[in-house]
A = this chain, B = another copy of it.
């Protein structure tokens, strides 16, 4: 893959990847950059530029063939590798992610859940091992888990992140408060509150523009 690919391009291409997968499943044979852009909230021009960064044939005026473009993105970004993941924090959010069944088809195997509340672990039923949090580092290392979802309360966030990093985790999707991690560990923050904030700014912006 192109090592110079900037993060925003990676993000958009990953968004396109998921979208194209759905379109291919629905049997769509062609889609324009304009429609792709609308569906991921970007301009047609940005979509064309991102796709232009891939080592792939050009679309021309007839648009893109969804499945071919999806495969081109997968090859260019290296999305074909299989990865093991775990979920840390089994409250409602962690349970919701644990229930989500679409990961397996995407090469991502959720192979453990962790919670510090041993009583909760006994009450939950799951096809995968649910383990106490003190086992995080050991289990992540022994199973070769590279991805984690962090869904613990804020006061437990740094401690849980430290355990994941001690186990050699590579990437964390963080639903809780920001945490410090060693160099080389990638973190993606997910926060409804922050998304609300970004939306509020965009809405104000839009209102300001339509008034002017």
Contact = CB atoms under 8 A, between A and B. Distances in A.
Q: How large is the interface on A (under 10, 10 to 19, 20 to 34, 35 or more residues)?
A: 35 or more
Given A8-B8, A77-B201, A196 B208 contact: no
Interface string A92-107: 1101110110110010
A10 B79 contact: no
Contacts of A147: 196, 199-200
A190 B38 CA distance: 16
Q: Chain A contact residues: over half helix, strand or loop, or mixed?
A: helix
Copies in the complex: 2
B196 A83 contact: yes
Contacts of A5: 205
A114 interface: no
A119 interface: no
26 contacts: A1-B205, A1-B208, A8-B8, A10-B202, A14-B198, A14-B201, A15-B189, A18-B197, A38-B180, A41-B189, A77-B200, A79-B197, A79-B201, A81-B204, A92-B93, A92-B96, A103-B196, A108-B193, A147-B199, A170-B203, A170-B206, A173-B196, A186-B203, A188-B195, A188-B198, A190-B192
